[in-house]
Copies of this chain bind each other. A is one copy, B any other.
């Protein structure tokens, strides 16, 4: 409890853009996010007052964060499970808890748990040797090899086209100690995300299901709601996410990344779970302006065990485009921002306080409106202005 405001304090491990935007959402709730940052120049550390510098793998740093907080939560999935258990044993409150969070940390555990729930998943198997991979493929390549831990934004995922390639990759990755699983390559029409939040009290709130568009494994665009998704399919996706949140005991935001199966424009009615994330997620950044309650406020409400906020759309269509760092040279970010604002006065800009590096997510833009094609076009143009000024 902060004695200056008589309100509880939320501590967040990690100080990237998710913590930055969570702090932004904390301010109107009377809160000030307490943050454990790896570096004083991390995006969230630049804007918050209550910042500790330390590693998320250092139990002493985690203890210091927890000592000044009523609840501890996460900007990323990389805190060791044993450290979370140590905090719990010492009487701290941590959401999501380790038994839920492990499913966002370890793809093998995730697949096992989802299998037990009967949630639709690709066919999969653990991989320890090249022979495991061959046996799974059964001569039918390609298959998808994944690092069970540590992957993000397309990293840690390999499309393996042959037994020879698999032999080389598995040998090399297992030698480096990387735990692996293999999954069938799903015939997918597009990717969707169902984002929900759950409180300790057990209340769950679901956002409209969105389409996520990836390029080279990185999300570049999110469209809310997912265009042309039949209402029954949307409800099915939301119910699946709610069931996963309940069964795993998630507290906070849960993003369920889904494949809509089929080919071309033809959906065949199937949904399979691709990944889980248990924190505010890129697929719901659009909620800052596009939903009555942003995912960041919702995550705070959930971990504080406050009643959850309304999740309805604020416009018929909302499109978020990620801003990736462009090549060095040319206009600086400040000049790019000038041009963007002059051309698109309704685009909502979110910069993460990061140094620009090619391909790095440095921000996002959100555009709302009545005409999907126009909204997508404006969002893409806004993101392009910030990327390379053209």
Contact = CB atoms under 8 A, between A and B. Distances in A.
B47 A27 contact: yes
A32 B45 CA distance: 10
B28 A346 contact: no
Given A338-B306, A346-B309, A48 B46 contact: no
Interface stretch (A2-10, A156-164, A166-174, A256-264): A2-10
Given A334-B8, A338-B306, A342-B307, A30 B314 contact: no
Interface string A276-294: 0000000000001000110
- Summarize A's interface: helix, strand, loop or mixed: loop
Given A24-B27, A30-B353, 14 more contacts: A4-B41, A5-B355, A6-B332, A6-B355, A6-B356, A20-B27, A29-B351, A30-B333, A30-B351, A30-B363, A45-B49, A301-B341, A307-B342, A308-B341
Contacts of A48: 47-49
A23 B47 contact: yes
Tier of interface size on chain A? 35 or more
A109 interface: no
A27 B23 contact: yes
Given A46-B49, A47-B49, A349-B29, A7 B342 contact: no
Assembly stoichiometry (copies): 2
Contacts of A314: 314-315, 368
A350 interface: yes
A352 to B, nearest CB: 7
A340 to B, nearest CB: 9
Interface of A: 4-8, 20-21, 23-24, 26-30, 32, 41, 45-49, 51, 288, 292-293, 301, 306-310, 312, 314-315, 332-334, 337-338, 341-342, 345-346, 348-356, 363, 368
14 contacts: A6-B332, A7-B334, A21-B27, A23-B27, A23-B47, A28-B349, A30-B351, A32-B46, A32-B353, A292-B346, A301-B341, A306-B338, A309-B346, A314-B368
B47 A6 contact: no
Contact of A341 (B5, B307, B348, B349): B307
Given A24-B28, A47-B32, A4 B353 contact: yes
Contacts of A333: 5-7, 30
Contacts of A21: 27-28
A346 B345 CA distance: 26
B49 A334 contact: no
Contacts of A312: 346
A45 B338 CA distance: 29
A309 to B, nearest CB: 5
B307 A345 contact: yes
A5 B47 contact: no
A32 to B, nearest CB: 5
A349 B350 CA distance: 22
Contacts of A345: 292-293, 307-310
A310 B346 contact: yes
In the A-B complex, the 3 residue pairs with the smallest Cβ-Cβ separation, listed nearest first, are: A30-B351, A310-B346, A307-B341
B41 A350 contact: no
